[in-house]
Amino acid sequence: MSLIDEGREFLKSKEWPEWKVMETDQRKEVPVPPRQKPCPEGAPLVDLIAVADLSVGQLPVIDALAGRKSHRKFTDAGLSLEELSFLLWATQGVREVLESGTVRRTVASGGNRHPFETYLVVNRVEGLKPGLYRYLPLDEKMCRLGEVDDAVARVGEGCHGQNFVGEGAVVFIWSVIPYRTEWRYSHLSHRAIAIDSGHVCQNLYIACAAIGVGTCAIGAFDQARMDSLVGVDGKDEFVIYLAPVGRIE
């Protein structure tokens, strides 16, 4: 079988009848994996603007969809903290936490597993010191993880010379923790994870259009470099998708 044929087979939905009788960690009553990574001890926290207090993002959906496109050129202007708060909520925000502990978010995920973490390389956001951050959706906060030396160059090099990626006011970098989905779906998880990542980035596109800023989905990147940049192990957590966001002409 050729590599192309193998890729096509991966895309097919074939094995779900097996899942009905599969011995998964969920069925073995293994505890649910954490829905959010904890903030490192001592890491500074940033309060985001609460959803109820957001005033941005009021553009009608039909207009946001019509304006959705990829942008690869950004101005030197920054984003406000309110705009960043809106974009984070739109892509991984929490709508509701049920008494059972179930977390409902603003984006679809197979089995409600939500295997992603959102890292941010902040270059130009009002009131924020440049550096690496991680979104804490259950807390409506971000934690600051540290400096990123030569951030623009490092991100550009990590995206195979796509230098515009590092020039965004902020770069969204989504990692995946596969076990959150594997706990429920075992080896059937990985196609679902790939689909879920598309849901997240499309929400970013629509949210960006709603506030008049630009973004561009990036799937071509150097895995080891980007994993190293955000500080993940590359096995139990690794980068899966990126998207710069910035002001446009």
Question: Which residue is associated with the tokens 């990985």?
Answer: 190
Query: Please, what is the average pLDDT of the chain?
Result: 96
- Mean pLDDT along residues 66-82: 96
pLDDT at 1 over 90: no
pLDDT confidence band for 143 (50 / 70 / 90): very high
Secondary structure (DSSP) of 44-96? -EEEPPPGGG-----S-HHHHHHH--B-----S--B-HHHHHHHHHHHH-EEE
Q: Is the pLDDT of residue 112 over 90?
A: yes
Q: How confident is the model at residue 101 (pLDDT cuts 50, 70, 90)?
A: confident
Domains located in the chain, CATH noted: 3-246 (3.40.109.10)
> Does the pLDDT value for residue 142 go beyond 90?
yes
The mean pLDDT of 120-132, rounded to a whole number, is 97
Q: In what order do the strands lie in the sheet with 238-246?
A: 45-47, 141-146, 131-136, 116-122, 170-176, 238-246, 214-215
CA distances from 139 to 20, 48, 50, 216 (A): 35, 9, 10, 27
What are the pLDDT digits (tens) for 7-55?
999 989 888 888 999 999 999 999 999 999 999 999 999 999 999 999 9
Give the span between the Cα atoms of 249 and 234, in whole angstroms. 37
Residue 200 scores a pLDDT above 90 = yes
Q: What does the longest C-alpha to C-alpha distance in the chain come to?
A: 55
Do residues 87 and 207 touch, judged by C-beta distance below 8 A?
yes
Prediction pTM value = 0.96
* Cβ atoms of residues 11 and 178 within 8 Å: no
Predicted pLDDT at 172: 98
Q: What is the dihedral of CA 105, 34, 238, 43, to 10 degrees?
A: 90
